[in-house]
Amino acid sequence: MADAPSPGSLPTLDDLRREIDRIDAGMHEFLMERGRIIDTLIQVKKTQASGSAFRPGREASQMRVLAERHKGTLPFDTVESIWRIIVSTFTYVQAPYAVHADISGGDAPMRDTCRFHFGFTVPYMPHDSAKAVIDAVAHSAGDLGVFRAEPGRAAGAWWTALAGPDRPKIIARLPFVERPQHPAGMPVYCISKPIEDAAVRDIVLYALGVERWREGLQPALARMGASVESSAGDDSGLNLLVAAPGSVTLDALMAAMAGLGVGVFDIREIGSHAARFRLPT
């Protein structure tokens, strides 16, 4: 076993503090350099007045790389938060946007989630209903909307308002990296105006209208890797929010429903997002 270093061979506190100052200055310089690149990117892409700066697939891929590469004493929570703020803020610099949040389930957890993922520079706009959030995004130049994505019965089938070619669509599910005791672990869906050129289709979401619930529906979907994420009834029947792998076709979903004798009166795609990634232990 190697001998422990002698006290005389250790750096002094002043030496270590100078190293920390050097690293801090370097990080600041890298951020400013990133800003200069973004200035050029704006000129090239002309995105100042559009939502085309959003790249949810790229963001999810980058976060996965960070999670797989990370090691050391610094908690990954801190790395994730810093990275999310950097990306969200520079996206805001490219094309200013606000985040509209449905706080009908409580403002505090939603506010914490939005601040963790988008920082404090991006405006946070709370609304008392999902409809208000969807309307705000639909009438904006390029804003985002955020809803709880916890499985179960929802307070109204808000997702049906996303059906249609020109309606806002789900583009992400946050957090990208899942783990126990996540500081902003409440799962949320993020919507924007359609951004087909940047959408990631690991998981595709459907607004599925059926006459009524059938036993065996969830197992039948599970065999395809799909699931019912939320449900809400209305006068026409039962509205389901269904998540399915991008490899599952609409015809396959319809065949599964027909095999159970489920009467489908509507099925439309309402967005997609990256597959969930669990932090390695």
- How much is the CA Rg of the chain, to the nearest whole Å? 22
Strand 99-102 and strand 124-127: the pairing is: parallel
Global pTM value: 0.88
CB burial string 18-38: b at 16+ within 10 A, e below: eeeeeeeeeeeeeeeeeeeeb
* pLDDT tens readout for residues 70-106: 999 999 999 999 999 999 999 999 889 999 999 988 8
Within 10 angstroms of residue 202's Cβ, the number of other Cβ atoms is 16
Report whether the peptide linkage leading into residue 245 is cis, meaning its omega lies within 30 degrees of zero. no
Could you give all domains of the chain from N- to C-terminal order, each with its CATH number? Answer: 52-200 (no CATH), 204-273 (3.30.70.3090)
List 267's β-bridge partners, or say none: 208
Task: List the helix and strand counts (H, then E) for the chain.
Answer: 7, 12
User: 147: part of which helix (H) or strand (E)?
Assistant: strand 144-148
User: Tokens 């929570």 map to which residue?
Assistant: 77
* pLDDT tens readout for residues 235-276: 778 999 999 999 999 889 888 888 888 888 889 999 999 998
Gap between the Cα atoms of 236 and 74, Å rounded = 52
pLDDT by residue, tens only, the chain of 281 residues: 455 556 567 899 999 999 999 999 999 999 999 999 999 988 887 755 554 578 898 899 999 999 999 999 999 999 999 999 999 999 999 889 999 999 988 899 999 999 999 999 999 999 999 999 999 999 999 999 999 987 665 668 899 999 998 899 999 999 999 888 899 989 999 999 988 776 789 999 999 998 888 888 889 999 999 999 998 888 778 999 999 999 999 889 888 888 888 888 889 999 999 998 887 66
Give the residue among 39, 86, 78, 40 at the shortest CA–CA distance from 62. Answer: 86
- Distances in whole angstroms, Cα of residue 104 to Cα of each of 160, 190, 239: 17, 16, 19
Q: Where are the alpha helices (DSSP H) in 119-224?
A: 130-138, 217-222
Within 10 angstroms of residue 92's Cβ, the number of other Cβ atoms is 18
List 247's β-bridge partners, or say none: none
List 172's β-bridge partners, or say none: 190
Residue 152: is it exposed, middle or buried by C-beta count within 10 angstroms (0-12/13-18/19+)? exposed
Gap between the Cα atoms of 5 and 11, Å rounded = 11
